[in-house]
Structure 1
């Protein structure tokens, strides 16, 4: 931890200790010998020091008697390796602290005996376990905790589970990612990501005393909705970034001159605009990067190296294309820079660097900064070009894929070209120039555009040399997101109750631009089509209280008398915002139903925000409100009802009251009080007719 203190001033150290203490104070008591569990949320900025936070939390947990700490270290092997390496460096400290910490990466049942033995060492070391966020490895870890050897030794000793990037794979993106598939099933139960979620629940069930800490930089509406339903965090902490941090506010509000626009014709898309030659803006960006290295590393000596990142498209073939362009340019410039002074190609190359040099020094203040001439930069350029390390970071490249570690200290200049592996969680050290010509067909989700921000971070020391190349539409999206992010953090700081923040997210018109996240037409026509029985068995008591209160406070109108109480229903016509709030407050406890709830709320929000003929009202129907509760068939193994709740001629008659004006959504919320201790079910049906 001393390494962290050397990087921070006293105020920053105090903030780190205070916030870490707050996080740990809401965890389970490691000295109370009984079953306990706690779930907390920790929110930071992208690249702002979340790793430092949970490393400090680990050290503090060790001091307070936590015997095991589990880290969900991302969905890709390079992120797992990155986290393991950092823990080994910062906590074990090259072996100096090996009596206090023991580290395992993706352990299998074969390591049970070793873990058992380490738990019995007299110094009581904390067992650090990094695991890939994949059901195979998480289930294997659950098997270790369920083994009698570990159970007998661990007993009720406290375990800390740290979920890094908690909005990825664990919960968020479930409905949206699956909505983008070309082939859609009608049921979310058949989609991906349920296995990861189930494995997390399996692991938690295998540990009697544990605290589950979710770290994220993107706590958007769908994430909050998900965690309130599924993992229910009781407390949240908003991390304060260090003074040297440069995030979205820096680039898109305070210093927008650092962001340069890529013309539409140079924006890459494999289908819409497959570029056949290296775009001019990429050449400019490369030259700026090389001169930045000459300026910041060689002349100013502010840093030992600088990096450039090129993120062209999620398609790995695009990364290969851009990699070939960059490598060919550097190879060509290497030959030219070695040529005779009178060589025409060299003269032309030098002149092209000279023309772009004013952009390199544009953000520097001539009255306070000593700015070297281009000739001084030129003397450094040959060595910079010769000593530039170019990496292709894609998963299919075995040599430079998942397990590739960049030798940052080995060269003054690095250029990284890649796709998704340069996305979420990956740290590009000393990144100064970013070139991201991604062509977006539709509006990006807030969490997606945020997690591509590898250019955020602690860059104040060389911020004047930073440049970010983006398409115009992407620049607009980021500017919108910055406003969204700052508002979100303000709410989280001001409200100790996450449910209050969720309500603000839902009702605030200011966040419409980045929160619509319109679902695909296929999703609406398949997964929101027809009737759905949405089960909430783990939330029965809470939902019953909410529903009873809702019914008491709502004015219902009676439909005509159909003769018997089981056929007589009543309805309430409510503003659409109240219907959305109703859905928000009704809790579910499994991933498919929560995904369905998310999608329904997002689509309602979208319909209500349409400029022409927005959706204004919807109906909530209380069925058989005067009758006795009817017993329903229930399968205890599958935890599902087997009775069809929406059948029979009488129900078809009931549907006739839902003839509404255009753009009034035909959606029914049905309450059925049933026996078998399953007192309330919310059922949602949305037909194709809702697309007007």
Structure 2
């Protein structure tokens, strides 16, 4: 009852303060007094401090606006406020959400779902219509809440059959069904309803029987669409809509298609003879739309770009399209956090049996997330000159799971299904995993002492994709938890067990709590004593369960059945990698080796919302994977910036598709998903490339230094880099040497002679040389500014007659075969060749498309200097009064000092470079934007891709 009272007071006070400016702690306290005066019964068992903290957190939260690329061809605008007046499904969903979310978050869901629904068609519109779009959210950011809101509104508007495609596994489908039971249906979908209807979620807000949709699937693990169920009912054009939550599975989708054709369709297509549903509008929501839905077959179109009508798509893609093709009134909306595979769907792909492919031709919408969302840029920060900027101290690196060469140990990088994990420790677990388990125990204890004991807490262990190996890990972790419980509860070897937990609390948790509270709003916490933690450990350890979540295990994660809050350590592989939400995820131990952008992002279950316990969260993973996630955080920022510019320019999904398909970021996405297993066609126009990963081998570095020396010799005498005037009398200044109007062949020769490190994914020098050469043929990138920018390492050398200091860049992490830094460029460097008018135009463009977005680097502060994309657009495409110069390229070189690189390494024995190593030649190229559409082929085989990046799933 006290928990119900808590949320009742929160909702009441939130409504009272919604339109008032003063939302201070004092104002909140006064309104709590009002609530308790009007409803004295709410005071029973109420923790007033918790209520106040939750309201302060909610009122400090804000959400950015969504942005969309739209194609309105054939679309009729229809959604007006008049339509929404009698919407009951949405109204009860909104009221239910208000109990859990801040006012700003609920308003954002309302606004974005209106926007998305408005880009679909009015379900009451006569004739045939087809709208296909995609919504891009963030991993674990609340996409389910968004599409639940869209489903409610679409049902209110008149969509009659709603199909949700929910992953590949039963547990994810079941979890999605449970959420829709709460958010849309309003009752538990059980196979046997003879015991009566159990109302839940929105059903408890409005209990009207006429507001209960029909359902064709249920919440049990075996509740997918079955043959038995299919035979037992038909569909009539009644008022209430039908909901189907199904797996992306050949048998299930075939069964659903057959049922639609035999029991729902009332017409026949005269041309093809296929059954047609003309009287019921269809909405398909495709959750994780980049997974399994995309046709990865080749030759979708012929050499002239016309669709191959006889092409045979992959099975799941074919069945989804056939279901759509069975309706004359239909809408398809794919939801994903990693849209690359969907962008690669050919926009002209079409077959006779399946109809058009799933390319989001109508719209692509980028969702923002609330400021409370913890995404890649907050966990890993963004690249800066001197390391990562804005990262939270939550990541702990793991290196004791295998040998140095990765071939042996507890969990080698590559291992077989027969592998048995073994360790020299008595627990048979590596020390890092023991520490991670201890961190989870402490997180659960501290949450309990903060009043969050009745909320779920989870730990993820994801170290192998093999079920048999997972079983060994499960047994080892279960054994360790049992042993720990015995030692603490029975006081056997008590001091040894408790001292490790105490040490971790004092050396790690106290400092991290303080650092997170300084960086993140709403994360202030009262100090908790070690004694109070120690007192609650015996009871707490009884609550912790260890479960194996995979296709062979009988364990399931049903959080809805627990009143007290589940404490679970979940061990698994692919089933934990995609879609499945681990409620209250505190600690992750993650060793999976895939390095592909979309696969890694989807495996990032630790992203999401951590109200009141962010400081207790930990990610234990390898240095290698940390580096890849950092790369991903930077790439995501880049692609969203490109999306912003294209939105501001009124571009369509088709144009964005062309841009993204040629983006070098996609060099880390599986070619198979790109429908081109051998060749990527890349463009660097409008992009910046920077070398941040280098060889440590002296000979390789000497060869690159020779390439630099040859370039300087060919260019001759240099001038000092001139200062550039800026508004308000400012100047941007650089130390170093510069050459202007350099012929492209000098740059091409330098790039051909320079050898990139294999792990320098985005900067392969031979590929850049090919691109410059290709652009030169069409009259672009013919004239270059080449600059050698100096630093502060205190070791000067002559460059074309100008004395240039070497640059100081610390090694980001100690890895055996390479030296890695943060960023090479400062934000202002790309404007080195911009005069004042061009700089101002770039700033105007930067500011004109800017909008507050908590998931982005700029946050709520409007930028006061132009960003890189704007600089490159102004250079290449021009602006009013500014001539376009797509012929002008900018090459910036720096000489990194090998001794300075050593400074921040923890051990003197970790020598990066042998004596006599020359300066490390680093370079960046700022490519102006171009409308030429020129690309260069990048050839690669699937085998090579797997060896380098790991499996795609």
Is TM > 0.5 for Structure 1 vs Structure 2? yes
Q: Is the 8 A contact 2:136 2:336 kept in 1?
A: yes
Larger RCO of the pair (alpha carbons < 8 Å, separation 6+): 1
Residue 307 of structure 1: SS of its match in structure 2? Answer: strand
Mapping of residues 518-537 of structure 1, within 5 Å = none
The offset of 1:306, in angstroms, is 1.5
Match of 1:159 among 277, 282, 285: 282
Could you report, residue by residue, the CA deviation over 1:304-331 in whole angstroms, capped at 9, with x for unpaired residues? 2311111111111221122112111111
The offset of 1:354, in angstroms, is 1.4
Matched, 1:454 2:619: no
Could you report, residue by residue, the CA deviation over 1:79-99 in whole angstroms, capped at 9, with x for unpaired residues? 111111111121122243653
Q: Is the 8 A contact 2:160 2:282 kept in 1?
A: yes
Give the whole-Å Cα distance in 2 for the aligned partners of 1:290 and 1:328.
15
Q: Is the 8 A contact 1:427 1:454 kept in 2?
A: yes
The offset of 1:461, in angstroms, is 2.1
Q: Which residue of 2 aligns with 1:500?
A: 655
Match of 1:32 among 113, 125, 128: 125
Matched, 1:362 2:511: yes
Give the whole-Å Cα distance in 2 for the aligned partners of 1:380 and 1:334.
12
Matched, 1:104 2:216: yes
Could you report, residue by residue, the CA deviation over 1:141-194 in whole angstroms, capped at 9, with x for unpaired residues? 12222125553796333110111100000117778xxxxxxxxxxxxx9x9981
Could you report, residue by residue, the CA deviation over 1:462-492 in whole angstroms, capped at 9, with x for unpaired residues? 1011100111110011111011122223333
Matched, 1:196 2:351: no
Mapping of residues 102-181 of structure 1, within 5 Å = 102-105=214-217, 106-108=224-226, 111=229, 115-117=233-235, 119-121=236-238, 124-147=239-262, 149-151=264-266, 155-171=278-294
Q: Which residue of 2 aligns with 1:268?
A: 411
Q: Which residue of 2 aligns with 1:226?
A: 345
Matched, 1:374 2:530: yes
Is there any run of 5+ residues in structure 1 with no aligned partner, and where? 176-188, 529-574, 576-604, 620-683
Residue 408 to residue 484, structure 1, CA distance change in 2 (3 Å): farther
Give the whole-Å Cα distance in 2 for the aligned partners of 1:270 and 1:317.
16
The offset of 1:27, in angstroms, is 1.4
Residue 160 of structure 1: SS of its match in structure 2? Answer: strand
Q: Which residue of 2 aligns with 1:423?
A: 577
Q: Is the 8 A contact 1:145 1:207 kept in 2?
A: no
Residue 112 to residue 332, structure 1, CA distance change in 2 (3 Å): closer
Give the whole-Å Cα distance in 2 for the aligned partners of 1:300 and 1:192.
57
Mapping of residues 124-523 of structure 1, within 5 Å = 124-147=239-262, 149-151=264-266, 155-171=278-294, 194-220=314-340, 222-226=341-345, 228=347, 229=349, 230-233=357-360, 234-253=362-381, 254-263=390-399, 265-266=401-402, 268-269=411-412, 271=414, 275-277=421-423, 278-301=429-452, 304-340=455-491, 343=492, 345-358=493-506, 359-365=508-514, 369-397=525-553, 399-400=554-555, 407-440=561-594, 444-494=595-645, 495=647, 496-509=651-664, 511=665, 514-515=668-669, 517=670
Moved more, 82-91 or 224-233: 224-233
The offset of 1:138, in angstroms, is 1.5
Matched, 1:61 2:189: no
Q: Which residue of 2 aligns with 1:551?
A: none
Residue 480 of structure 2: SS of its match in structure 1? Answer: helix
Give the whole-Å Cα distance in 2 for the aligned partners of 1:130 and 1:417.
26
Give the whole-Å Cα distance in 2 for the aligned partners of 1:52 and 1:309.
23
The offset of 1:362, in angstroms, is 2.2
Give the whole-Å Cα distance in 2 for the aligned partners of 1:303 and 1:68.
38
The offset of 1:139, in angstroms, is 2.1
Give the whole-Å Cα distance in 1 for the aligned partners of 2:345 and 2:614.
37
Residue 270 to residue 609, structure 1, CA distance change in 2 (3 Å): closer
Give the whole-Å Cα distance in 2 for the aligned partners of 1:346 and 1:685.
60
Q: Is the 8 A contact 1:76 1:132 kept in 2?
A: yes
Give the whole-Å Cα distance in 2 for the aligned partners of 1:686 and 1:372.
57
The offset of 1:302, in angstroms, is 7.0
Q: Is the 8 A contact 1:28 1:158 kept in 2?
A: no
Q: Is the 8 A contact 2:161 2:241 kept in 1?
A: yes
Could you report, residue by residue, the CA deviation over 1:345-397 in whole angstroms, capped at 9, with x for unpaired residues? 21111111111112122222399642222222111111111211211111112
The offset of 1:15, in angstroms, is 1.5
Residue 308 of structure 1: SS of its match in structure 2? Answer: strand
Give the whole-Å Cα distance in 2 for the aligned partners of 1:452 and 1:172.
22
Residue 52 of structure 1: SS of its match in structure 2? Answer: helix
Give the whole-Å Cα distance in 2 for the aligned partners of 1:469 and 1:8.
30
Q: Which structure dedicates a bigger proportion of its chain to helix?
A: 1
Give the whole-Å Cα distance in 1 for the aligned partners of 2:762 and 2:147.
40
Residue 433 to residue 108, structure 1, CA distance change in 2 (3 Å): closer
Give the whole-Å Cα distance in 2 for the aligned partners of 1:193 and 1:279.
46
Residue 47 of structure 1: SS of its match in structure 2? Answer: coil
The offset of 1:686, in angstroms, is 9.0
Q: Is the 8 A contact 2:343 2:660 kept in 1?
A: no
Residue 226 to residue 388, structure 1, CA distance change in 2 (3 Å): same
Give the whole-Å Cα distance in 1 for the aligned partners of 2:568 and 2:762.
47
The offset of 1:251, in angstroms, is 0.7
Could you report, residue by residue, the CA deviation over 1:483-535 in whole angstroms, capped at 9, with x for unpaired residues? 112222333344242233234334555x36645x5789xx97xx78xxxxxxx
Give the whole-Å Cα distance in 2 for the aligned partners of 1:67 and 1:410.
38
The offset of 1:264, in angstroms, is 5.4
Q: Which residue of 1 aligns with 2:709?
A: none
Moved more, 408-417 or 238-247: 408-417
The offset of 1:22, in angstroms, is 1.3
Q: Which residue of 2 aligns with 1:636?
A: none
Q: Is the 8 A contact 2:343 2:359 kept in 1?
A: no
Give the whole-Å Cα distance in 2 for the aligned partners of 1:404 and 1:38.
35
Q: Is the 8 A contact 1:294 1:380 kept in 2?
A: yes
Give the whole-Å Cα distance in 2 for the aligned partners of 1:291 and 1:42.
38
Residue 39 to residue 611, structure 1, CA distance change in 2 (3 Å): same
Residue 421 to residue 507, structure 1, CA distance change in 2 (3 Å): closer
Residue 99 of structure 2: SS of its match in structure 1? Answer: helix
Q: Which residue of 2 aligns with 1:578?
A: none
Q: Which residue of 1 aligns with 2:7?
A: none
Moved more, 87-96 or 327-336: 87-96
Is there any run of 5+ residues in structure 2 with no aligned partner, and where? 1-92, 188-198, 200-206, 218-223, 268-275, 299-308, 350-356, 382-389, 403-409, 424-428, 518-523, 680-744, 746-759, 776-936, 945-953
The offset of 1:255, in angstroms, is 3.2
Residue 419 to residue 512, structure 1, CA distance change in 2 (3 Å): closer
Give the whole-Å Cα distance in 1 for the aligned partners of 2:938 and 2:644.
37
